[in-house]
């Protein structure tokens, strides 16, 4: 199911080592200004190269294939593509016999009858999220004045974290992290309970991002340890503003006009140069595996802009 | 959006103080044995009356309106209803002027143009989950031999917790809790990435349950503090069994054949007899509110069977 | 797939000889006045008893189970049910061994693994359309000022047709007919090409009505015999009004502001007392079959209000 | 809504005079052999150049962007694109002021807030159907051994028709036609009533093809003039074979194992060089319009392969 959304409808395609990654966005009204320059900032935030992220370099320049004319959306589907220039003919066949721990090698092989393209993770690669970020650029325009901001709040359990990152890189190991996301200027009334509660829709798309292990809204897991008299959050004025926002801006699955607030847990990068073990499906024995390739020490560092995109897409779908 | 699912398709209806709560289940194949007795156990687990739960008593006897003939499903939609016998004409109008903290009173009023039925929480009441449990009974038959079991693992931060519960009840306060859910006998290959990853679909329906604040899979939030060399999970044999199951039975959004494992955080019951404050939308002032009605000290105690139902429904939809 | 619609979402349930037929309508905004009296006229138009229709009598009184409070919709799902009082324990088992020509007996049996409820056609009975008419009553309110009117234009190839009808009834035979449907006050711009063209969405729901054999818009099949210079339809003024409306009010799958116009062909009633032949799946031989039961000489007479409901539902879904 | 399908899911994009037309097909299992050569025959059938069709020449060579590796589908989304090489910078702006009769110029302009790309019909052009034909090539592989064949049965009301075509071309006029489509080797049980009857799903996608005015199944409109004793169709043997197939292979919305049979009416090409009139939205007066460009005398000639593709897509979605 490579599509999402009822009104702001996206369809994603492409593999890490195929010629292009892309996304089709359907449902965008005609008349929204859109140019390749609009993508520069978010692409740059997502791109590799910062400390702690993979040395694979891609220009990540968007090609707008359809749906934009004279600098404005036309109301027809917007297809956007990105070239994969910097692929390396890696020994991907190994991953079918020796599926990497923590990767989709084993599950994708089984899911697709043995025909999955495993090169660089194929369609399961984090590279596919470039399409999500591109769609997010459009979604952010649609949801204005709602403004979504996601930031790293913790890396490897530390805040700040520079030293931890350097040590992990040196050891050939990796780190996870926590991302906090807030959306301000939320109107009251967004969310479609029973089944499309605001938390349901946001968590649905956020868990599409590879490597997410958990999500919590407002007080989150801490709420389970509170008394009602501590967690309850008095309404303070006629706008619906509450005193503590412990529900993360949502009641009964519907936005209450306060800041939307949630956190996601990102696992440490699976590919590490520390030796690991895995089962060799050809020999039938457990063997040592040493991931070579180019990898992020902490791919969580690249996730905030992806989370922003995901939430903006979800909100665009609910707000339209 | 009161429907869920592409293959196992459910539509929920009813209000806490209306005549009936019900659910329509479409997509169930013909020939599955089904009788009212099949519902007894799960209804009993969900029902009020246990220590820590509301004294409102409902018989919760299912009426199968359609889709079953001669003791078997017919392949046509199965409508199941439950009478609301034990309603009380409460002073629900107060909730429009004085929306209760932590409830959907304010958001539902605004979402539905001022016409929401707020009596007992209306369509946002936990009572509506009875339909979910009923659909879960059918889903559990469909997903066999997969077996889903959810249990309370913590109440108010304690394990065990009897004393904490008694103290909170005495104080007129409430507690939250954590529920752990496991599904065994999972086949490899369930999940539809990119957007319908197994985590996406499960979290979508789990966050439809009122009062959930967070969800985490496998190592969950703890994974964000681990190194890759700690979190990575070697495949140990040709079935795909891993040594630690830190990913909760899922890689790349697809089941890997290990036990599916996740935890959800449930907030403390919002309705407490401890005095609270809320904004009076008629007078324009903050006033004291004391919830009377009949409420659970810890509604988390009733949530395990609802989580089981939700996950079984999600799995039925993916497995069919 | 017993549901339809993205915004005005309906789920239908029930069997001809089960206890109730019903429909759940989700997505209706709060605040629309709705009472059982609103259903009287359309139910009466659909009901049996007119010349040429079955003598089975049903009161067809709606029960509003949910989603309406104090005479207005609440924004929550509206479940409406109708009792089946006038069922007869007919020898339905015969239909499994001797499927009736033109009925769903054979296909439903095979589709549902032999467990379909064939009594009176079960879920495939025209009786199920009562739910559609009920949802249509709500849809008609939502699409105002658009007004949908469907009428019989031909019965058995004749116009008028009283004599033909009497003769067919006398002979124990049946007749089909043609229904013409018009929607006035259509706004410009309704329809979601490429795949949800206005014709696509209307024909989708119209072909859900049992017994429809064809649909044509505007000049319809006659257009295939015209030259472009005859069929083309000049725009005459700034409202988009055209001179001939040969496209039935639609260009490129989108309403053009002219009257929406289409015709549907309804087959003759399958159940006739004229002896017919069918294959006996138990004996393996072709045998004579004489349908007894109570049947319409021309069920097309009851279809106009069902077509109106179907189109109103489709338009409500597109207009919301 | 530029997507179709629940299991075999397609998303179409592109404009007549944009750089590329394309389609994304999601849901195709891994392991199906697929190469560019597989597209040659259907592309050639659809392509312009035959007598009676437009002189615009396009190579129509497919580029497979994703989802295929080592000559087989991978289970990930298949994106296929086609270059638009032969575009001409036509005076498209005229179409906004002088919308062409029978085209989507007026409706698309209004639907998309004045920002639609009208060049050559933009996203409403018949050129977009190239994506449909491409998806059809894959669908045809999936539905094997079901075999779909569509043929012209009538042009301008004539059969055969060569002379009529030559005369219309000479006069600068155009002709419509009727296409008959048959699918053999249909299994029993395909179709998802109530709302996704086989006729519903087929007509839904067939009416997405530009220029279709009607569809009829089996005896079609003629059935409305028959008596039940004439139209009813005895089952003749244990496979469900009927004697006349007047229902076109469908009973109660479900395939009955006989040949699927339907006809569609195609209007005459709207663009003709015979002078026409239309309203000038700038001057406010009706003016003469003479379509220049390159157009088909009878685009119905190109429609059979498109109908085949559409039906194959619908069947793939229902059969998977």
pLDDT digits (tens, 9 = 90+) for B230-249: 999 999 999 999 999 999 99
Partner-chain contact A30 D2, CB within 8 Å = no
Q: How confident is the model at residue B58 (pLDDT cuts 50, 70, 90)?
A: confident
Partners of residue B69 in chain C, C-beta under 8 Å: 15, 18, 115, 117, 119
Higher pLDDT, C157 or A99: C157
Q: Are strands A78-83 and C63-64 parallel, antiparallel or unpaired?
A: unpaired
Q: Does residue B242 sit at the A interface (CB-CB below 8 Å)?
A: yes
Q: Percentage of chain B surpassing pLDDT 90?
A: 78
The complex scores an ipTM of: 0.96
Q: Which residues of D touch C176 (CB under 8 A)?
A: 223-226, 231
> Residues C149-176, buried b or exposed e (16+ Cβ, 10 A)?
ebebebbbbeeebeebbeebbeebbbbb
What's the pLDDT score for residue B91? Answer: 55
- Give the pLDDT confidence score for residue D48 in this predicted structure: 67
> B207 pLDDT exceeds 80?
yes
| B85's tokens | 């016998």
| Separation CA A187–CA C293 (nearest Å) | 58
pLDDT of A294 reads 67
Answer left, alpha or beta for residue B29, where phi above 0 means left and psi between -120 and 50 means alpha: beta
CA dihedral C294, C300, C305, C309 (to 10 degrees): 100
pLDDT, greater one: A102 or A316: A316
Nearest-CA distance B90 → chain C (Å): 15
Alpha helices for chain C (secondary structure H): 40-46, 93-97, 105-111, 129-142, 162-170, 198-206, 228-231, 303-319
Q: What is the mean pLDDT of chain A?
A: 92
Cβ distance D114 to A24 less than 8 Å, yes or no, reads no
Minimum-distance CB partner of C11 among B11, B69, B74: B11
Give the gap in angstroms from C-alpha A63 to the nearest C-alpha of chain B.
22
From B10, which residue of chain A is nearest by alpha-carbon distance? A195
Tokens of A32: 């929204």
| Per-residue pLDDT at B18 | 93
Q: What is d(CA A123, CA A134) in angstroms, rounded to the nearest whole number?
A: 17
Which pLDDT belongs to residue C101?
A: 87
What are the angstrom distances between the C-alpha of A11 and each of A5, A8, B145, D76? 9, 10, 34, 12
Query: Which residues in chain C have their CB less than 8 angstroms from residue D106's CB?
Result: 188, 235, 240, 251, 256
Question: What is the total residue count of chain D?
Answer: 320
- What was the pLDDT predicted at C100? 86
Of B95, B97, B81, nearest to B18 by C-alpha is B81
pLDDT band at A101 (very low <50, low <70, confident <90, very high): confident
Residue A74: what pLDDT?
A: 96
Backbone angles phi, psi at D5, to 5 degrees: 100, 145
D35-82 residue pLDDT tens: 999 999 999 999 865 566 766 677 899 999 999 999 999 999 999 999
Asked if pLDDT for residue B153 goes beyond 80, the answer is yes
Residues of D in contact with A79 (CB under 8 A): 13-14, 20, 22
Q: Which residues of A touch D117 (CB under 8 A)?
A: 69, 74, 76
CATH topology for the B3-319 domain: Chorismate synthase, AroC fold (3.60.150)
pLDDT digits (tens, 9 = 90+) for A260-271: 999 999 999 998
Residue B53 has pLDDT above 80, yes or no: no
Please report residues of C whose CB lies closer than 8 A to that of D123.
Answer: 193-194
Q: Which chains touch A (3 or more CB pairs under 8 A)?
A: B, D
Mean pLDDT of chain C: 92
**Is it the case that residue C231 has pLDDT exceeding 80?**
yes
Q: Work out the average pLDDT over B208-218.
A: 98
Q: Which residues of chain D have pLDDT under 50?
A: none
CB contact under 8 A, B74 and C114: no
Residue A50 is predicted with a pLDDT of: 59
Share of chain A above pLDDT 70, in %: 94
Q: Is the pLDDT of residue A39 over 80?
A: yes
Å from A262 to nearest chain B CA? Answer: 9
Tens digits of residue pLDDT in A60-98: 999 999 999 999 999 999 999 999 987 765 656 677 788
- Confidence band (pLDDT; 50, 70, 90) for C162? confident
pLDDT reading at C92 higher than 70: no
Chain C from 132 to 161: CB within 8 A of any D CB: 154, 156-157
Report the DSSP pairing between strands B276-280 and B285-289. antiparallel
Please give the share of chain C, as a percent, with pLDDT higher than 90.
Answer: 78
Interface chains of chain B (3 or more CB pairs under 8 Å): A, C
pLDDT confidence of residue B85:
83
Mean pLDDT score across all residues of chain B:
92
């Amino acid at each position: 199911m490579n599509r999402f959304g009822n009104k702001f409808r996206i369809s994603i395609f492409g593999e890490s080592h195929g010629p292009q990654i892309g996304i089709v966005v359907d449902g965008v009204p005609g008349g929204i200004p859109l140019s390749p320059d609009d993508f520069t900032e978010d692409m740059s935030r997502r791109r590799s190269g910062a400390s702690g992220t993979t040395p694979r370099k891609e220009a990540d320049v968007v090609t707008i294939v359809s749906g934009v004319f004279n600098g404005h959306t036309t109301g027809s589907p917007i297809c956007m593509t990105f070239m994969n220039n910097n692929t390396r003919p890696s020994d991907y066949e190994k991953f079918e016999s020796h599926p990497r721990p923590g990767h989709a090698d084993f599950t994708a092989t089984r899911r697709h009858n043995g025909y999955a393209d495993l090169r660089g993770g194929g369609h399961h690669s984090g590279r596919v999220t470039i399409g999500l970020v591109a769609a997010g650029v459009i979604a952010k325009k649609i949801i204005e004045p709602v403004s979504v901001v996601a930031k790293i709040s913790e890396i490897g359990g530390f805040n700040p974290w520079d030293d931890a990152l350097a040590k992990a890189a040196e050891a050939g190991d990796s780190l996870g992290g926590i991302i906090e996301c807030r959306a301000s200027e939320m109107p009251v009334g967004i969310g479609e309970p029973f089944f499309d509660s605001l938390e349901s829709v946001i968590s649905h798309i956020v868990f599409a991002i590879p490597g997410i292990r958990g999500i919590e809204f407002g007080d989150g897991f801490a709420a389970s340890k509170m008394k009602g008299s501590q967690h309850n959050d008095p309404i303070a004025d006629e706008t619906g503003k509450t005193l503590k926002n412990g529900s993360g801006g949502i009641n009964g699955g519907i936005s209450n006009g306060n800041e939307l607030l949630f956190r996601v847990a990102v696992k440490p990068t699976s590919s590490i140069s520390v030796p690991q073990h895995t089962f060799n499906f050809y020999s039938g024995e457990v063997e040592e595996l040493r991931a070579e390739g180019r990898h992020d020490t902490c791919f969580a560092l690249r996730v905030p802009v992806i989370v922003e995109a995901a939430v903006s897409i979800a909100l665009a779908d609910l707000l339209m």
